[in-house]
Homo-oligomer: A and B are copies of this chain.
Amino acid sequence: MADKANPIRFGILGCAEIARKVSRAIALSPNATIVAVGSRSLDKAVRFIAANGLPPATRAHGSYDAVLDDRDVDAVHVPLPTSLHVRWAVAAAERGKHVLLEKPTALCAADLDRILDACKSCGVQFMDTTMWMHHPRTARMRELLSDPDRFGQLRTIHSIFSFHGDSDFLQNDIRVKPDLDGLGVLGDTGWYCIRSILWAADYELPKTAIAHHGLAKNEAGVNLSCGSTLLWDDGKVATFYCSFLAHLTMELSVAGTRGTLHLSDFVIPFEETHAKFRFATDSGFAELQTGWKPLPSEHDVSTELPQEALMIQEFSSLAGSIRDSSCKPDQKWPTIARKTQLVLDAVKASIEKGFEPVNITS
């Protein structure tokens, strides 16, 4: 079992901004440690280690390959541009490193399949970095959604994730560059919206995606703002909206026949130590419709570790089971990632087909 004395040892491929958050999470996790950082520039790796207060023993490497060749590295965090994911995630798996991959996991499901196949055949754990999945709030909300007496049957889900990219972001960020992150906002904030919808639907894949009119692209054709409807055969319907052009907004609303869940910070909670949500069961109107009865209840879930550290802990626990107990890689996380990517592909295809319905097939 991976623990403080015998942790999963991480290497990081690249010095992306998000790697700073993940390296802190590795430090906070009780069963993980960071041992190496690789960059195309050795200097940059050295500076990253110093600037982020990583353990002095952390090795700086002047290439990604050097990290993968480092025999002290058990697992890698891959925060590279999406267009590089197949190459480096597959290379990592083939050299026996567990793969913690930034979202979007790939430019398309076929690419992700190459990564997942490599992880499976090499016996390494795969997980994407959708951090909010690991917050205890998420488990608490799942309990309520799974309770037919409090939530009933799922009917509809609506998800929004936007932030307002400034002019530097809209000019220079890798997420608006067709050759780096060609999925644009759909692969970035849209990834979270799609995941939240799949999560709320207990990972039942929708049947159809129909992108919404009214999207925005930059001059290079990268999506900056878009949305979609997702449909299931039983009449469930979801919509989402993702944007780089509107102020920071993160709404998730899930309604069943008997209950409604709502939260306004589903991806990154307002505060690190606790997170809220609102849940209503069998609410109607008070006499003469002068208010609600019963009122929705407010829930507040504390967490000792931030959600990203809980992610590292879970990932390291799975990697530890493979290392110490010869377990096979857990398939829950690859399966969820793949479904997210399948829906993303369908929305993208619907956009490309002029908002026509596109079937989602596994």
Contacts and interface: CB of A to CB of B under 8 A. Distances in A.
Interface of A: 18, 20-21, 24, 152, 155-156, 158, 160, 162-164, 208, 210, 212-214, 216, 225, 227, 229, 231, 235, 237, 239, 241, 243, 245-249, 251, 253, 255-260, 262, 264-265, 268-272, 278, 280, 282-286, 288-292, 295-296, 306, 355, 357
Tally of this chain's copies:
2
Contacts of A257: 164, 245-247
Residue of A243, A264, A286 with highest tally of chain B CB at under 10 A: A264
B357 A292 contact: no
A21 B289 contact: yes
Nearest to A152: B247
Given A155-B243, A269-B291, 8 more contacts: A227-B237, A235-B245, A246-B257, A246-B260, A247-B257, A247-B280, A264-B278, A270-B291
A269 B296 CA distance: 12
29 contacts: A18-B289, A21-B288, A21-B289, A155-B162, A155-B245, A155-B247, A156-B162, A158-B160, A158-B241, A163-B284, A208-B213, A210-B355, A213-B231, A227-B239, A235-B245, A245-B257, A246-B255, A247-B256, A247-B257, A248-B292, A251-B251, A264-B296, A268-B289, A268-B290, A268-B291, A268-B292, A269-B291, A270-B296, A272-B286
A229 B231 contact: no
A56 B259 CA distance: 42
A260 B160 CA distance: 12
A304 B164 CA distance: 38
Contact of A213 (B24, B229, B255, B292): B229
B241 A214 contact: no
Given A268-B291, A289-B21, A306-B290, A247 B255 contact: yes
A163 B239 CA distance: 18
Residue of A21, A241, A262, A296 with highest tally of chain B CB at under 10 A: A241
B253 A229 contact: no
Given A210-B212, A229-B214, A231-B214, A272 B290 contact: yes
A239 to B, nearest CB: 6
